[in-house]
Structure 1
Amino acid sequence: MPTTTAAYLTGLAATNDDAGDQPAIKRLHRSDTETVVRIAFREGQVMREHMAAHPILVLGQTGAIDFTVDGSTYRLEPGSAIRVGARVKHALHAISEGTVTLVVIHGT
C-alpha cells in the first residue's frame, strides 16, 4: 500500500468494551512505513512480555498503563510516550482503565 500525503485517524482513546479478559486491540491504519494500533485496557489487564519485529512508539492516551522494558517500569498517561527498539522484550499492565496508541515503524 503506497504512502499517502495524509491519514486522519480517530478513535485513539476508545475504551475496551470487549467481554474477554484480554486488552482490545484494533488496527487503525497501515501504510508502507507504519502501522497504528489502539490497545484499550480495563483495569488490571496485562499484556505479557513480548517483542515486536520492528521499532515501536507507544503513546499514552487515557488512564495509566505501566510499561516495563529492560527491568524499568514507566507509567504511560496522557502526554507521555516510550520508544522501544526492534526485538526488545516489554510488557504492559493497566493500573486503571486506559488506552495507548502503538505505532509500529516498519519502513523508511
Structure 2
Amino acid sequence: MKIASLSNNIEYHESRPTIQVLLESESGKELRIAFKEGQVMKRHRTPFPIVVEIFDGCIDFGVNGDVHTLKKGDLIALDGGVPHDLTATVDSIVRLSLNRGDTAKRVEDVAKTSQ
C-alpha cells in the first residue's frame, strides 16, 4: 500500500511549474504539478495516454490550437502524441497520471524549458 497527498508539502518554483512524483506503481505514476499564476508548460506531446485533473485552481489547457478552461475538479484525457500546453490563470495544483512507460523526467524537462 502507498499513500500520498495532493495538498500537503506543496512547493512552488518562482519561474516554472514544480513537478513532484507522488506515487509509482506497476500500472503508472501520479505526479503533482504546482503552478503559480501565469506559469506555463509550453506545447509538447507525450508518448503515452495521460489523464490530467485540476485539483485546485484554473488552467487554460490548449489542445491542437483550441483552449479549454479547466477548473477545480475537471479532468481531461489525451491519447499519446496529441500536442497540448498548459497556462495557469491562478495558482493551481494539477494531478497528472502517467503510463508506467512514461517518465517524470520528461515532464520535468518540459517544465524547465517552458520558462
Provide the residue aligned with 1:104 in structure 2.
98
Decide which of 12, 22, 27 is 1:33's aligned counterpart: 27
Per-residue CA distance 1:17-49 (angstroms, 9 max, x = gap): 33x411011111112211100001001000000
Name the larger-Rg structure: 1
Decide which of 59, 70, 81 is 2:64's aligned counterpart: 70
Decide which of 41, 48, 72 is 1:47's aligned counterpart: 41
1:101 Cα deviation from its structure 2 partner: 0.2
Provide the residue aligned with 2:106 in structure 1.
none
| Percent of paired sites with the same residue | 34
Provide the residue aligned with 2:2 in structure 1.
7
The structure 1 segments of at least 4 consecutive aligned residues displaced by more than 4 Å after TM superposition are none
Work out whether 1:95 is the aligned partner of 2:89. Answer: yes
Does the CA contact (< 8 Å) of 1:52 and 1:87 recur in 2?
Answer: yes
- Cα root mean square deviation, aligned: 1.6
- Distance change (3 Å), C-alpha of 1:16 and 1:73: farther
Distance, in Å, in 2 between the alignment partners of 1:77 and 1:16 is 20
Q: TM-score normalised to the size of structure 2?
A: 0.78
Structure number with the higher helix fraction is 2
State the AA in 2 paired with 1:46. Answer: V
Q: How many residues align?
A: 100
Distance, in Å, in 2 between the alignment partners of 1:13 and 1:101 is 11
Q: TM-score normalised to the size of structure 1?
A: 0.83
1:52 Cα deviation from its structure 2 partner: 1.0
1:77 Cα deviation from its structure 2 partner: 1.5
